[in-house]
Amino acid sequence: MTKKGQALSVLLVSTLAFTVCFMVWMMFGVIGIPLKKTLGLNATEFGLLTATPVLTGSLIRVPLGIWTDKYGGRIVMTVLMAITVPAIWLMAYATAYWHFLVIGLFVGLAGGSFSVGTPYVARWFPKNRQGFAMGVYGAGNSGAAVNKFIAPALVVAFGWTMVPQVYAAIMLGALVLFWLFSASDPAHLVPSNTRFSDQLRALKDPKVIKYCQYYSIVFGGYVGLSLWMVQYYIGEFGLDIRAAALLAACFSLPGGVLRAVGGWLSDKYGAHSVTWWVMWVSWVCLFLLSYPQTDFTVLTVTGPKTFHLGLNVYAFTTLMFVLGIAFAFGKASVFKYIADDYPTNIGTVSGIVGLAGGMGGFILPILFGVLMDFTGIRSSAFMLLYGVVWVSLIWMYWTEVRRTPVMGQDAPASPLSRSFAR
């Protein structure tokens, strides 16, 4: 097979593997609904249940990125997927709340696949196509939407225990396909004399910290909302689980699939320009989504009149669809920053940034539950995200917009990134 053919094969099979891993990672977003009723969970406990797999999938991203740089993506991805299969299967036999939390930690390892595939795929493509390649791979985020199509049907037809059993079989099949059609290139490995401490120097780079902030909203927000939206639709609009999951997929699907488009736009117009517009579109959407259902009375010349303000299910879903598109573009543009600034250290830096995004996906569902238990307002979840976007916009303005002469021109690389390049 030619080098170009190998690159295409690696991209396709890696994207398939990541889609399956992400589908498994988001499993609790659907099966958590019947479990919440069975176990009698409040909103905070439900948030912790759905977020538990995200914790380990986030914490392991840095070592996985480093191991990918050192040993290659093919072997690391294969081992990672193989480890998760038994844990997914055992989920069907859990009965107590703590069972689900403990097993969920092992199932969550599947979420670390992002930090393996990103550097693995990127190194098979030239610099001017890396944004698009990483965007295609990142479209595996659509596994969150696939989960919302498959899991509700299984829950309704066979009960929630069928979901982890089917998912374990799917993961095993994806593992076999990945091993058969992926490839290795020794030239993609970091030299063996590279020290662990040298790779972790990226933690001291303020630009990496900034990219972590950006990714905590575009990816962390995407994960958090993907886990939260099914129960939100059920509680806010009184839908059944199948209708709620279908509408929730209107956010998850474009938020995953269109990441490839975001990668292409980032290659063409630059990571800065795309990310800047992503933040502003997100700001507008979250402002509107934050407004709770409200009835207010106005004293008029003809007497008191009561008015209602609030989003109906159609307006809400439309805004979520737009927000999903914005997050998809933003996830790709943040990693275009990384590919541009850290071409020889993509694995480590993407692991660090991925960790920040994953931790956002872990913390946010818990905070969503705490805020709802405390305020009784479901839209408080969007109020929280609105504040996070404000932080990103302000940070970007002071560090990039004021220092970038041309809006389409990315900020110059930091001294650390240049030292890595050397």
pLDDT, tens digit, 9 for 90 and up, residues 142-186? 888 899 899 999 999 999 999 999 999 999 999 999 999 998 888
Residue 133 predicted with pLDDT over 70: yes
pLDDT in tens, 59-95: 888 788 878 888 888 999 999 999 999 999 999 999 9
Query: Contact, 356 vs 216, CB < 8 A?
Result: yes
Is residue 102 situated within a structural domain? Answer: yes
Is residue 232 situated within a structural domain? Answer: yes
Stated as kind and residue range, the H or E segment containing 303 is strand 303-309
**Average pLDDT score over residue span 118-130:** 84
Residue 306 predicted with pLDDT over 70: yes
Higher-confidence position of 208 and 315:
315
Predicted local distance difference test score (pLDDT) of residue 199: 57
Q: How confident is the model at residue 138 (pLDDT cuts 50, 70, 90)?
A: confident
Is residue 333 situated within a structural domain? Answer: yes
CB-CB neighbours of 157 under 10 Å: 8
**Average pLDDT score over residue span 10-26:** 93
* CATH code of residue 61: 1.20.1250.20
Closest C-alpha among 331, 400, 325, 340 to residue 360: 331
Predicted local distance difference test score (pLDDT) of residue 368: 93
Instruction: Provide the 8-state DSSP code for 42.
Output: -
Predicted local distance difference test score (pLDDT) of residue 325: 93
Predicted local distance difference test score (pLDDT) of residue 417: 41
Q: How confident is the model at residue 422 (pLDDT cuts 50, 70, 90)?
A: very low
pLDDT in tens, 383-411: 999 999 999 999 888 888 776 554 444 44
| Domain total of the chain | 1
Predicted local distance difference test score (pLDDT) of residue 197: 65
pLDDT in tens, 93-107: 999 999 999 999 999
CB-CB neighbours of 250 under 10 Å: 18
**Average pLDDT score over residue span 25-42:** 91
Is residue 341 situated within a structural domain? Answer: yes
Closest C-alpha among 252, 258, 34 to residue 147: 252
Q: 50 is written with which tokens?
A: 């759905």
What is the C-alpha to C-alpha distance for residues 151 and 139, in angstroms, rounded to an integer? 20
Predicted local distance difference test score (pLDDT) of residue 264: 85
Tell me the pLDDT of the chain averaged across its residues: 86
Residue 198 predicted with pLDDT over 80: no
Is residue 191 situated within a structural domain? Answer: no
Predicted local distance difference test score (pLDDT) of residue 413: 45
Closest C-alpha among 369, 379, 357, 355 to residue 49: 369
Higher-confidence position of 350 and 379:
379
Predicted local distance difference test score (pLDDT) of residue 412: 46
Selection from 313-317, 346-350, 398-402 with the highest mean pLDDT:
313-317
Query: Whole-prediction pTM value?
Result: 0.78
Predicted local distance difference test score (pLDDT) of residue 324: 92
Residue 11 predicted with pLDDT over 90: yes
**Average pLDDT score over residue span 403-421:** 45
**Average pLDDT score over residue span 336-348:** 78
pLDDT in tens, 253-262: 888 778 878 8
Least confident window among 75-84, 223-232, 276-285, 399-408: 399-408
Q: Which domain holds residue 117?
A: 3-183+199-421
Place of tokens 């099979």: 13
Q: 218 is written with which tokens?
A: 């575009």
Predicted local distance difference test score (pLDDT) of residue 407: 41
Q: How confident is the model at residue 17 (pLDDT cuts 50, 70, 90)?
A: very high
What is the C-alpha to C-alpha distance for residues 308 and 279, in angstroms, rounded to an integer? 29
The CA-CA-CA angle for residues 312, 364, 353, to 5°, reads 120
